[in-house]
Amino acid sequence: MSEEPEARGEGTGGLPGLRQVLTGIALAEGDTYTLTDTNDAFTERVGPRIAPPGDPVPPGPLRTALHRARRTGRMERVRLPAGTRDTGHPHGPLVLLCLPLRRPHGPAPLLLLAEPLPDTEAPPDTAALPDTEADGTGHPLDDDALLLRYQALLSAVPQVVWTRGPDGRVTRLSGTEDPARPGLPLPGNDEEWLDAVHPKDHERFTRDWREATAAGTHLTCVVRVRVGDDPRAYRHLRITAVPVERVDRQLEWVGTVADAEGEWFTSTRERLLARMAEVSTARDLSEAFRTTAAVIVPDLADSIAVFEVQGATTRSALAARSAAPAERVAFAPGLPPLPPLGDGFALGRMAEDVLRDREPRLLTFPAGAPPEDKISPISLAWLREAEATSLALLPVLVDGRVVAVASVANCRGNPPPGAPELRLLQDVLQGLSRPLRRTLELQRARDTALVLQRSFLTAVPDLAGAEIQARYVPANAAAEVGGDWYDATPLPKGAVALSIGDVAGHDLDAATAMGSVNSMLRGLAWDAGPHADPARTLDRLDGMVQGLGTASLVTTVHALLCPAPGRGWHVRLANAGHPPPLLLRAAGPVDCVGTEPDPPLCVPSGPARTSTDLFLAQGDTLLLYTDGLVEIPETSITDRIAHLCRRVETLHRDGLPLEALVRDVVAHVRAGKDDIAVVAFRATGRPERPPPDPPDAADTARQAPAPSATALSGPPAPPAPPARHRAT
């Protein structure tokens, strides 16, 4: 790319806004005071008496005056006598005013103003300046206000002013480069300029520049441009270009190049932090990490992976699974996925430094050639495949403790982040502190509730002629630990009591209430024995729960399964407001057991609860589940139950073992806001007749009339009507 002044007055480049003024104007730059540009009035009045445009001013009075003006910072006057008057080109006496322009770096350029003098022999120091209207206001040229105006005009021009002619040649009009950032190229469409633009800005700038030049419209954009000799050193510059139509109707461009690093940092920081506002509403760590990753990629980096630190006692261990959690990882298009990490994954020595010092670390290297001694083998292989050029590890702090480490990389030959990008990365990640603190508190409460909840979920018993499988999946939100439970209680004579239920709520109180309700029902089932009526057992449970104020609302299914020699298993169950159990026949469709459940527990008295009877032959399965398996917002639960029946029927038809069937039923449901509990009973053979239990005090007590629910919870009430039985 050409970056030279227009020589000998050729071309049409000019001083911005001053080419058409009547005053002769020229710019002298550099140590030799080269005339880098002149307007037509200057060329006409001065002619060849000092130096042609593009040449240095020779030694003499003018050069001495220019040197003195630059040294003192004050205006100097020089009188030029009349020259040879060629026909049509008179060169009379004139005065040159030398005004130094303020520049922060390098030799100050000087503005030359030329005005003709009367053709007299007055000495230079007494020669009167022409009383002409130089600026159209009636004020003479040496009016201090006018001179200051000219000086301020050129001094206010941004760092670099340039023109680009129709031939594509770029000319510097004014401004000097910052010595701290040498080698600054000027905008153009040739390879030198485009090669200096940051790879991530290259396509955007090329498109904007071509559209502006094709349409002849104004262009303003901020791009990163390589400056100096360091191929990795980029700086944000504001490029402005305005088309100017010449007399011959061709377009030339006049523009500026100004430093925009501070402007870019401020605007980008505000924009990214505004997007990070969504983190404050994150319900768990996964959502918080996912939002943060989306902010960083691809604005600040090509990839990010966030790893949670596993407690204060094992600072070097970072949480990992067999596969990296997708919500904690983000990649720019075209990058390979992160391979499985395995248990005990650690980022290596570099991570140890970050955890110890709580300070970020940046490692730069040739594309695809990271060092082997600071990075784990898994990360090393991925960085090579991604042709990474840098790896930054940044700590995420909460109350001064490192709770996570962000691994940020630039790939595919893109240059490493500069100091401004690293500061922005730290600011963005620091935005995680408040939601992480809240999320960690909720996570601790959830972990406590899960421990408590699982303590009530007893192991299923082994039965002759039957198999029981159960599964519990907690909700995916940090604070939403519900009151779901399942239970399988062995009873005398080879029977078993199955129950499943849900206590309203999604917190530690709900989990505590669930434990109490489950324990009560388990005790009542054992006390009532294998031949009790499940509906009456739920009535007694309802009275106890309401009387003790244990819970506000409970739904449950309670079933007694007794071996029936020669027939399989006899089942009697009652449903208090719970989703209907599913009956999977060995050869046949999947059916719902009852479609109109009785009211839940803890609601005003209604119709008497009823029990349903059915038999399970060999290979038949009874599946009990909680509403987390079928409830999805804005979807009919009836449709979801029908969908579940079709799904279970497909799995059952494939002949899956009971354990695999339960696992796949749960896995098919997307993680939601509610817990999921499932317990399944399958008849595997004809049960043998159990030996009679010896009579004892407990058996005698079971044969005694059971106390009513109201006897346990309040004053006597009229006897309830006999329970109705529905057979399936």
Domain count, the chain: 4
Query: Does 37 map to a domain?
Result: yes
Q: Which of 129-133, 401-405, 578-582 has the lowest mean pLDDT?
A: 129-133
Asked whether the predicted pLDDT for residue 5 surpasses 50, the reply is no
Q: What is the mean pLDDT of residues 612-633?
A: 89
Are 651 and 534 found together in one domain?
Answer: yes
Q: Report the pLDDT value the prediction gives residue 521, as an integer from 0 to 100.
A: 94
- Residues above pLDDT 90, as percent of the chain: 20
Asked whether the predicted pLDDT for residue 30 surpasses 70, the reply is yes
Q: Report the pLDDT value the prediction gives residue 728, as an integer from 0 to 100.
A: 33
Are 182 and 106 found together in one domain?
Answer: no
* pLDDT range class, residue 187, cuts 50, 70, 90: low
Are 632 and 484 found together in one domain?
Answer: yes
Among the candidates 105, 121, 155, a domain finishes at 155
Are 366 and 325 found together in one domain?
Answer: yes
CATH code where residue 634 lies:
3.60.40.10
Asked whether the predicted pLDDT for residue 498 surpasses 80, the reply is yes
First CA to last CA distance, the chain = 90
Query: Does 497 map to a domain?
Result: yes
Q: Which of 64-73, 320-329, 495-504 has the lowest mean pLDDT?
A: 320-329
Q: Mention every residue, 6+ apart, whose C-beta is less than 8 A from residue 490.
A: 461, 463, 496
* pLDDT range class, residue 616, cuts 50, 70, 90: very high
Three-state SS for 461? coil
Ranked by mean pLDDT, the top range of 13-17, 549-553, 712-716 is 549-553
* pLDDT range class, residue 585, cuts 50, 70, 90: very high
Residues, the chain: 728
CA angle 393, 397, 402 (to 5 degrees): 70
Are 175 and 210 found together in one domain?
Answer: yes
Q: Report the pLDDT value the prediction gives residue 405, as an integer from 0 to 100.
A: 86
338, 329 Cβ separation under 8 angstroms: yes
Q: Which of 238-252, 328-342, 642-656, 682-696 has the lowest mean pLDDT?
A: 682-696
Q: Report the pLDDT value the prediction gives residue 343, as an integer from 0 to 100.
A: 59
Are 604 and 519 found together in one domain?
Answer: yes
Q: Which of 140-154, 512-526, 612-626 has the lowest mean pLDDT?
A: 140-154
CATH code where residue 72 lies:
3.30.450
Are 142 and 165 found together in one domain?
Answer: no
Q: Report the pLDDT value the prediction gives residue 181, as an integer from 0 to 100.
A: 39
* pLDDT range class, residue 549, cuts 50, 70, 90: confident
Cα 345 to chain centroid, rounded: 24
Host H or E run for residue 406: strand 401-410
Q: What is the mean pLDDT of residues 535-562?
A: 92
Distance in angstroms (rounded) separating the CA atoms of residues 426 and 406: 10
Q: How does pLDDT run across 639-668, given as a tens digit for each residue?
A: 888 888 988 988 888 888 999 999 998 887
Q: Can you name the residues that pair with 529 across neighbouring β-strands?
A: none
Q: What is the mean pLDDT of the chain?
A: 76
Q: Strand 234-245: give its sheet, edge to edge.
A: 170-174, 160-164, 251-259, 234-245, 219-226
Among the candidates 102, 133, 155, a domain finishes at 155
For every residue of 283-350, DSSP letters joined together read SSHHHHHHHHHHHHTTTT-SEEEEEEB--STTTT-B---SS--GGGEEE-TTPPPPPP--TT----HH
Tell which wins on pLDDT, 125 or 244: 244
Are 111 and 190 found together in one domain?
Answer: no
**Distances, alpha carbon 300 to alpha carbons 61, 265, 303, 411, 489, in Å:** 56, 12, 9, 12, 58
41, 114 Cβ separation under 8 angstroms: yes
Are 314 and 414 found together in one domain?
Answer: yes
* CA nearest to 264, candidates 301, 233, 209, 222: 222
Alpha-helix runs per DSSP H in 117-245 = 144-155, 191-196, 199-215
Query: Does 274 map to a domain?
Result: no
Q: What is the mean pLDDT of residues 129-140?
A: 38
Three-state SS for 105? coil
Q: What is the mean pLDDT of residues 686-711?
A: 44
Q: How does pLDDT run across 44-96, given as a tens digit for each residue?
A: 888 777 888 788 899 988 999 999 988 887 888 888 877 655 544 456 788 88
Distance in angstroms (rounded) separating the CA atoms of residues 341 and 307: 11
Query: Does 503 map to a domain?
Result: yes
Q: How does pLDDT run across 667-680, given as a tens digit for each residue?
A: 876 555 678 899 99
Asked whether the predicted pLDDT for residue 11 surpasses 80, the reply is no
Residue 27: DSSP 8-state: E
Asked whether the predicted pLDDT for residue 492 surpasses 60, the reply is yes
Burial of residue 466, with CB atoms counted within 10 A of its CB: 0-12 exposed, 13-18 middle, 19 or more buried: buried
Are 533 and 678 found together in one domain?
Answer: yes
Tell which wins on pLDDT, 624 or 629: 624
Asked whether the predicted pLDDT for residue 158 surpasses 60, the reply is no
Domain residues for the domain of 248 are 160-259
Q: Report the pLDDT value the prediction gives residue 672, as an integer from 0 to 100.
A: 55
Q: Report the pLDDT value the prediction gives residue 10, as an integer from 0 to 100.
A: 32
Query: Does 684 map to a domain?
Result: yes
Q: What is the mean pLDDT of residues 9-23?
A: 49
Asked whether the predicted pLDDT for residue 387 surpasses 90, the reply is yes
Q: What is the mean pLDDT of residues 355-384?
A: 89
* CA nearest to 662, candidates 677, 643, 683, 684: 677
Backbone region of residue 663 per phi and psi (left: phi > 0; alpha: psi in -120 to 50; beta: other values):
alpha
Q: What is the mean pLDDT of residues 170-194?
A: 54
Among the candidates 155, 173, 195, a domain finishes at 155
Rounded to 5 degrees, φ, ψ at 330 are -140, 140
Q: Report the pLDDT value the prediction gives residue 554, as an integer from 0 to 100.
A: 92
Q: Report the pLDDT value the prediction gives residue 19, as an integer from 0 to 100.
A: 61
Asked whether the predicted pLDDT for residue 575 surpasses 90, the reply is yes
Residue 29: DSSP 8-state: E
Asked whether the predicted pLDDT for residue 534 surpasses 60, the reply is yes
* pLDDT range class, residue 35, cuts 50, 70, 90: confident
* pLDDT range class, residue 29, cuts 50, 70, 90: confident
Ranked by mean pLDDT, the top range of 332-336, 412-416, 490-494, 550-554 is 490-494
Are 72 and 210 found together in one domain?
Answer: no
Q: Report the pLDDT value the prediction gives residue 487, as an integer from 0 to 100.
A: 92
* CA nearest to 369, candidates 393, 346, 385, 353: 385
Asked whether the predicted pLDDT for residue 469 surpasses 60, the reply is yes
Query: Does 575 map to a domain?
Result: yes
For every residue of 432-443, DSSP letters joined together read THHHHHHHHHHH
Are 469 and 610 found together in one domain?
Answer: yes
Tell which wins on pLDDT, 91 or 492: 492
CA angle 695, 697, 699 (to 5 degrees): 55
Q: Which of 113-127, 426-440, 550-564, 647-661 has the lowest mean pLDDT?
A: 113-127
Query: Does 273 map to a domain?
Result: no
Asked whether the predicted pLDDT for residue 150 surpasses 70, the reply is no
CATH code where residue 180 lies:
3.30.450.20
Query: Does 1 map to a domain?
Result: no
Q: Report the pLDDT value the prediction gives residue 570, as an integer from 0 to 100.
A: 95
